[in-house]
Structure formats: C-alpha cells, structure tokens
Amino acid sequence: MSGFTKRQILTLTTGVAIGGASFRAAAQDMPAHERQLYEAARREGEITWYSGQYNAETSEAVGRAFNERYPGVRCNVVRSTSQVAFQRLSQDNRANAAQCDVFSSTNSGHFTQLKREGKLMQYRPVNADGMLPAIRNMDADNFFHTSFLGLFLMTHNTRLVPEAEAPQSWTDALDGKWKDKLAVGHPGFSGAIGVWAVQMRKMYGWDYFTRLERNNPQIGRSSQDPVTTLNAGERSVGLCVPVGTTALAISRGNPLKLIYPREGVLAAISPSAIPSNAPHPNAAKLFMEFQAGKGLSETVRRTFNEPLRPDVPPPEGGRPLADVTLLTPTLEEQEKGVPEVREAWRDTFGV
C-alpha cells in the first residue's frame, strides 16, 4: 500500500527533474522567434489548453510533444467536448478568473463571437506561413488561426451491416429500416455535431431531425461516442463521426468502415485563439507557434488526424482531401446557427 504512494511520488518527481534538465539542449535547434518566446514562456512556466478539437488521446499526445519540445513550460491539457470547453471559458469569465491560455473548439462560431466581444488577443504565428494555403488565413485580423482540420462522416459496423446495405448518404439514414440502429453525438456538448446540424438544416430543413428522431438514434455527448457504441455492437451506423477516432479504432481491430456520404462530408476547419486575459500570454503564443508548426501536425497524424501542413504527410489509409466534397457552413452561420439548433435539438429529442 505504501509502495503505491511512493511510486506515485517518484513518478511525479522524476517528471519535474527531467523537465528542469533538458531545456538548454532544446533551445539550441529552434528558430529565433520561437527561442525568444520560449525564453519568456519559461518564466511563466505553464500553459493551459482548453482542447475541444482532437480526441483525448491525441490531445494528451500533443501536450506531451509540446512538453518535450519546450521543457520547462508545462502544458495543462483540459480536454472536453467543444461546447463544454466553451462553457468552462464562459464560467471562468463570469467569475473574473482567467484560467485558459489557448482555446480550441470545433465550433468556429465561438471565435467570431469572442472576437466581436473583444475577448481575444491578436497574434499571428510566424509558423503559419508553412501551413496549407487554403486554411492559412482564417481570420484577416489574426485573432484566431486554424489548428484542426477534421472530416466528419458516417461509419458502420461491418459485422452487423454488410457494406452493400450500408447507407450511402446523409438522407439514407432517415429510412425506417435504420430504426434503433443509429448513433450520434449531441450539439449541446460536441461542437462538430452543432456545426453538422446547422449544415443538415441548411440542406434539408429541420425536418431532417424530426425524421431522424423517429428512427430513435442513441444520443451520446461527444461526436466520437458513436465509435464506442459501434465497436460494442450496441448500434450499427454512426452519424457525423470524426475520421481520426474511427480510423484509430479500425487500426485496433474494431469492425468499422467509413462511409463518405454522397452529398459530401462535413469539414470542420476549426481555429484556436488566445483569450485576451490569458494568464500566460507568452506561453500561449508559443503554443500557437507549436500548433502552426510541424510539431502538432506530426503528432496528430499518428492518431489518424489530418496534418495542417504540406510538409507533413497525411495519415495512412485516408482518402486524399482533393477527392472529397467538403461541406462547411460559414463562420456567421455557425455562430448564429449552433445555439438555435441546440435548442431545437432539445425540443425534438427531449435531451
């Protein structure tokens, strides 16, 4: 019993010791702008990242990669769904207690709103020059920058539904034969589901969801919840699931297969930003550099997420972006639409 406590203390102390020892070596091979920020960030000591974009495993890996690259600046990873991350941020603000240094959400509407309210810090990461041109300049005023490029589509359990019978489009899922077989996340929690609901409403009207309700989908919270549900065989078709988490599950031997719906896939091109009251502004900027640089892209591709830079190869087995139709509501549609669909969702589904 006492051995457990000792080991725990040991784990903690070695962690601290390693952090202290290797920072000089790390600073050597950094470009000048990073080294400068790193120096300042080390005095702040930590950065708190509200991470709503990458899944828990990937977020933790990003935090570790950051710690390795910048010893002495500890990254506090606070992973949750995007709506919950935003809720935490609002709660912090309401209490006048700034906690968050970098905020990442799949609901881009959060950023236009925060920007308009004057709650974001202007910063352009130098490393952003090396990002894919299409996603490089998300905000002309440099209040937020792309840190996530995620595709959300459908997936099915191959043991329960043979490929030939699987739904091929978003509307196929409305067919009565999928009653009690579907799984989906919740727009009150997941940012991506909110954006997806806005897109579906734009294409088919709210009627899409009243018809979906008749098929009694199992509602989780995160957009990744259907992956778990499908792995277990609890349900057989998942709606609006992230490619990354699904591909990771497939690589572990789960019987899933991705479906690229005919109408196109939901492309979440989502940013990160520094709140204007961030307690560790230099560390926050350093983290923004890290996200725009190769560090993030190389880390996230290992768990099957799209890199943000052309100099990092795409994850194995994914379909090239050029071959896919991408659906994305505008930033304005996201900001205005997500709160609306969230309320409508609760009226339609009861939760």
172 versus 234: smaller Cβ distance to another protein: 234
CA gap 24, 182 in Å, rounded: 53
CB of 263 to another protein, least distance (A): 25
Going by C-alpha positions, the residue among 311, 287, 286, 307 that lies closest to residue 297 is 307
In one letter, which amino acid is 1? M
Binders of another protein among residues 74 to 93 (CB under 8 A) are: 75-81, 83-84, 86-87, 90-92
Site membership for another protein, residue 8 (CB under 8 A): yes
The 247-266 contact track toward another protein, x by CB under 8 A, reads: --x--xxx------------
227 binds another protein per the rule CB under 8 A? yes
Stretch in the footprint of another protein (CB under 8 A) among 128-136, 146-154, 214-222, 307-315:
214-222
155 binds another protein (CB under 8 A): no
Contact between 82 and 105 (Cβ < 8 Å): yes
The two structure tokens encoding residue 266: 């939901």
* Number of chain positions touching another protein (CB under 8 A): 61
Place of tokens 């299409």: 134
Cα separation values, 292 from 107, 131, 297, Å: 19, 7, 8
- Give least dist CB 234 to another protein, A: 4
Question: Per the structure block, which two tokens stand in for 50?
Answer: 């509200």
Distance CA 100, CA 26 (A): 25
Any idea which residue has 């009694």 for tokens? 216
The minimum distance between CB 39 and another protein, in angstroms, equals 23
Instruction: Return the C-alpha torsion angle 35, 311, 151, 200, nearest 10.
Output: 90
The residue from 222, 282, 299, 305 that contacts another protein (CB under 8 A) is: 222
Going by their DSSP bridges, the two strands 256-259 and 144-157 should be labelled as: antiparallel
Q: Name the site residues for another protein (rule: CB under 8 A).
A: 1, 4, 8, 11-12, 48, 55-57, 60, 63-64, 75-81, 83-84, 86-87, 90-92, 94-97, 99-100, 186, 188-189, 218-222, 224-228, 231-235, 245, 249, 252-254, 342, 346-347, 349-351
